[in-house]
Structure 1
């Protein structure tokens, strides 16, 4: 069975961010991840997060790069040619958090490109930003991830399929850019998650949620027992992030 981390951006949202760390530990998770740990989003300081994760001996495995104005509708800015300076300014902040919390993986959300731009410009902007960020993060021993996201949850999101992500990774030509494979998103885009073997050489983090509802595996239609067995067969030894909304039974991963 894979090893699981709790995504505290979606789980335990009924309590403050800092308290979600203790809730995850109490439910038996061995690590946590989150989308945006930054003070404006989390409502607590980096020092507070650092102290709590140390107290609980609960590592944080993954965060996102700053993704623009989330409340205003941004879902990443990496493919927007008018926001390259803003994108690059967010990387040092992510590094600050990653270094303080011993985070090894940082995810870059491609975003929703502005209307009227050519595919060539959008793609070249994304590739250029990733090329720059991958090398900056490599110097800090932090892996850069990209994540395809379904267009039902985020209409217009630029990066939608596993093969598209692999094509981008190949175009960037960096040894420090990897695929963050979210089984929920890829299932919603019509991919068979049992074909994950095709993309395993590029994958360095996996996330799960069931459909419909984006709740805990076992509550919907996705055959996660087969998926988890396949990950074991393929020798995947990285984290599987539980990026879903509701935990229906504690310690499902121990069963």
Structure 2
């Protein structure tokens, strides 16, 4: 989606436009979850993502994808749990992943197997593995080797069905105590794991809240090929990207300049909230920035 009057695209490539995926855990909150697939397709989305699929059957979700011509871009591995009941309760109970929790190895392995089972049915090529909350009085550095070992095992398992695993830095304002909150830390973990199917999920909202200097980080990390998924939301209120302190008009054009061709997840809370049609009413930014 480059604009010749603003940016020179490398090698005279034709302008493109980021491929936007609707995050159904955030968008269309006025609708029951399974009805959000049709709403997203009606609004022109061709892919969806969401936090967790495990409350619904794989077959029902796959039917919604097929019936609406949608791709599954991404979902999360379970936040915790060693059976479907506990997996379903984990997020609302405050769990934010078990990757960094050494004593919960069985839950981690169960969660990875469950996530990969869903990924096979939904033809989803990416799974986000949540890092978890740092235990009290434990230094992050003391857990790095165990985290790398666990990810190395998970990447080998995921590689058997061609799935890429993602880790995501999340800001400490929204998720106090989260193990992973900086882009450089995420890339250090990739170095330690050294698995071809481990990448970073770079949420520009989280990046701005935690670190700032978003454009410089995009220029640093996108050319490495190790950023597998992007997400956007306005800062500071996590609403539509056309308001707030981040200039997404500039940042989305920068993605073109850098040759990013992956999905950009729309993980924001519509400013009209639960108002019927509120998500659709707030999508004008897509048309305005389709230059």
Q: TM-score, normalised by structure 2?
A: 0.83
**Aligned residue-pair number:** 251
Provide the residue aligned with 1:224 in structure 2. 248
Q: Which of the pair has more CA radius of gyration?
A: 2
Partner of 1:61, secondary structure, is strand
Deviates more, 1:240-249 or 1:54-63: 240-249
Checking the alignment, whether the CA contact within 8 Å between 1:81 and 1:121 is kept in structure 2 is: no
* 8 A Cα contact 2:134 2:140, kept in partner: no
The aligned residue for residue 54 of structure 1 is 66
In structure 2, stretches of 5+ residues that fail to align are 1-16, 81-89, 271-278
Q: Deviations over 1:181-205 (max 9, x none)?
A: 0000000012211011211111011
C-alpha distance in 1 between matches for 2:236 and 2:141: 34
Summarize the alignment of residues 91-240 of structure 1 with structure 2, pairs less than 5 Å apart.
91-195=112-216, 196-200=218-222, 201=224, 202-240=226-264
Gaps of 5+ in 1: none
Moved over 4 A (4+): none
- Determine the structure 2 residue equivalent to 1:243: 267
Helix, strand or coil at the partner of 1:212: coil
Asked if the contact 2:99–2:129 (Cα under 8 Å) also holds between the matched residues in 1, the reply is yes
TM-score (norm 1): 0.95
Q: Give the superposition deviation at 1:14.
A: 2.4
Q: CA deviation at 1:136?
A: 0.7
Partner of residue 37, structure 2 = 21
- Alignment RMSD: 1.2
Cα shift at 1:251:
5.0
User: In structure 2, how many angstroms separate the alpha carbons of the residues matched to 1:35 and 1:232?
Assistant: 27
- Secondary structure at the counterpart of residue 60 of structure 1: strand
Deviation per CA, 1:62-89, whole angstroms, max 9, x where unpaired?
A: 0111111111111111000111111011
Q: Which residue pairs with 2:274 in the alignment?
A: none
Partners of 2:261 and 2:284 in 1: CA distance: 19
Q: Distance in 2 between matches of 1:85 and 1:155?
A: 25
